[in-house]
Structure 1
């Protein structure tokens, strides 16, 4: 059983690019006459294997110290890409809220820091706006554009057949909860990022092409074409409760996921009674096909799917998806921590070594309830 909670990355590095002022979907207003001003001074990116971490330099100023009863609660960043919908992240930097509070209540009333966000695929443009949330108001910064370069074509081609896994994201009806606004474009963004890492798009030395790719499923099990590739909407309203009932969800909701031998199922549901944002199981193997760190059983006892908390900030989605994907493919804690792997919170560079690629291939050939579609 693998329960993973990802924390914000903090890395100090800035690459300067031009600043622009496009209108974002939420129409954030600058606070020209507000007691607090936020300015994104620089935006850039930092390579991370075959993905990139956006980096943003932020300065917060106040003409005079904030009133004693106005308290900074958090930093917030809004991201809008040219394809994916607007996403929001509450940035709980280590000590940031306390540090900003001290700075803005002091005579100088100035605070500055650099923020590194969750990884994204190359070849995209994103727009960022920060805000400072206090117990009285939300103050907005300027908006900047960040261009992430497209990666050159890898120098070496994968040998052997490419294994393509159809992915379906299961979405459920919880109208009263502030869930991820997930659609086909966000599914595409997650899949593109995963394929860049699985394919070693940056041709990073020491890493290899796993010869595994993901694609958005286009049909339901009955052959019906999906309205949005990779998206399945359900009127059910399941909730994962970490009180012993998580593994019985599929009994209460028989359509929680589709045939795990044909689809890689990603179940996006609210989590209760936990701060975790990701829940999944390592694969199980038939007796006689042991794999270090995983169970061998006569019959599978757990559903082999990826659960992602629908209450999380969507700007972290790719990180959660990659971490869950690593577990799904058989990279246990021992195999996925260190320099290389699929967990952005535990690895210096995102990608797979030849040994990890061999383990993934073995998992997809032998594990119970694992998508085995081939192209």
Structure 2
């Protein structure tokens, strides 16, 4: 195969035609914003026929120097987070975290779904950071960039060991996930929740199994996520349903039905975020619309741009999560009315930081009271 190189970073890079993209959200490897070149396969007439092969997930390992990431964003309710993995096999086409793969020299397209990085040493590094003399506890958010309970977690078990560290230190944690694998850790989370140390947010984008499979090809089906909400809730773990992202025309009509189903499953609070298309995500999502929803593609993008000041995305604080304008106000009002009617408008109980302390070591004198 002859490859031509172009000084184009906005156009999509076509995937190798010999690859079978089963269960993938993206269909291409769009060039990252840090990459000056895009690569596209071009037939030169001398191609040797190749057998079709399945594109499989590859996982590399890294040893991080630090695992707690700080932020001071004014529209985010936490100041620190942890991500056990880079990239996400769930393959959600709309994922705002896709451009972060560009920092690794990889594409936000298929690379983000298939070339993952795991941090097996994250629990040990976390414990080292918590033990620093100047550390001050505050809720640690996990799952803010990529899903900590994506399929590869079944092999690595990093999240369970991270939770064991946090539980030993009485450190509060707020988890966001789509993954049913979180049920594996109900024993730890239930014990932490009883001490006021754990919340969980479950993302439900749509109740339409077919649409969900196209949008989020390797994430659990909607009915499975509702079952996870029920399992966690019955174990005493406070759960928030996250209607995120709200995609105009496609999933936006389901706001009320998603909230009702989540409330019936045991969710105690709710939130929503408008579809975000930063950097490389915008062309990937438009390409997905053309492939899967050609009859509604223009309608979806027109509605979205109406809420984004005429652009695919607006990254301004306070606007990036909600949008602006009449249509954005209507969505916000609908959500508020529905969550109030269902009793989901009250926040989850605050996480407790006062219990934080160094876990007992061998030889320590323990208190009798």
TM-based fold match above 0.5: no
Structure holding more strand per residue: 1
Structure holding more helix per residue: 2
Given the two structures, how large is their TM-score scaled by the length of structure 2? 0.30
Given the two structures, how large is their TM-score scaled by the length of structure 1? 0.29
Higher relative contact order by CA 8 Å / sep ≥ 6: 1 or 2?
A: 1
